[in-house]
């Protein structure tokens, strides 16, 4: 598969993985979650919460990732804790104890987000510009993804690995197809992630 094909497959993969968060963020906009999100954000200190800071840093700039991901996680956690309760319209409608509990639970959700299913390479690819419903925005996003991938100094073997990986092939099968040891997979992913990040930085593409 050529780099163009890899770029398009990556774009489709990224879009699918962003749908859930997009849906929850839209819900946060459509309902009055502004007060709740603000209170939870006020209760989260990235300087004090090292685990959360490190988890977010794997997905980009910690502060920016927090602001982007927080609304969806607040909505999801509130729905689980209070399925029949409207979000508070003011600070007086929620107790300090409830806020502390929500801050702790949302922080843990953000720390664990994708840990069980995603490795660093997956999270790095997930930070690539996602497409939008608008055709022009989608095209622009695809161009950025293709530019990042095309600008990375991949060897033919690395390009083959990435093509299989983005195609959803399991690690064990990739190792078997390419004749590499299973324990070498993480090193290969780390090397690819570094090249992707360097490519994005050279081109001034933010959000990766």
Neighbours of 158 (CB within 10 A): 15
Q: What is the pTM of this model?
A: 0.47
Give the CA distances from residue 6 to residues 114, 142, 145, 149, 205, in Å, rounded to whole numbers and listed in that order: 22, 11, 9, 8, 18
Query: What string of pLDDT tens digits covers the 208 residues of the chain?
Result: 444 444 555 545 444 444 445 555 554 444 578 899 999 999 999 999 988 988 888 777 889 889 988 988 888 888 888 888 888 889 999 999 999 999 999 998 888 764 444 455 655 555 454 444 456 666 666 677 778 888 888 899 998 888 888 777 888 888 899 998 877 888 888 888 888 888 888 888 765 5
Name, in order, each residue with C-beta under 8 angstroms of 159's C-beta and a sequence gap of 6 or more: 3, 6
- Across 14-47, b (16+ Cβ under 10 Å) vs e yields bbebeeebeebbeebeeeebebbbebbeeebeee
């Amino acid at each position: 598969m050529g780099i163009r094909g890899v770029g398009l497959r990556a774009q489709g993969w990224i879009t699918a993985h962003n749908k859930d968060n997009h849906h929850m963020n839209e819900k946060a906009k459509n309902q009055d979650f502004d007060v709740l999100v603000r209170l939870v954000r006020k209760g989260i200190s990235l300087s004090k919460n090292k685990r959360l800071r490190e988890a977010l840093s794997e997905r980009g700039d910690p502060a920016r990732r927090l602001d982007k991901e927080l609304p969806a996680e607040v909505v999801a956690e509130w729905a689980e804790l209070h399925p029949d309760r409207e979000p508070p319209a003011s600070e007086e409608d929620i107790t300090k104890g409830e806020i502390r509990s929500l801050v702790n639970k949302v922080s843990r959700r953000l720390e664990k987000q994708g840990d069980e299913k995603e490795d660093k390479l997956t999270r790095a690819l997930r930070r690539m510009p996602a497409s939008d419903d608008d055709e022009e925005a989608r095209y622009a996003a695809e161009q950025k993804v293709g530019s990042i991938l095309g600008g990375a100094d991949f060897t033919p073997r690395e390009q083959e690995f990435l093509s299989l990986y983005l195609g959803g092939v399991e690690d064990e099968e990739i190792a078997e197809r390419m004749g590499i040891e299973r324990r070498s997979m993480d090193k290969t992913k780390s090397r690819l992630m570094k090249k992707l990040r360097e490519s994005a930085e050279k081109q001034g593409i933010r959000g990766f």
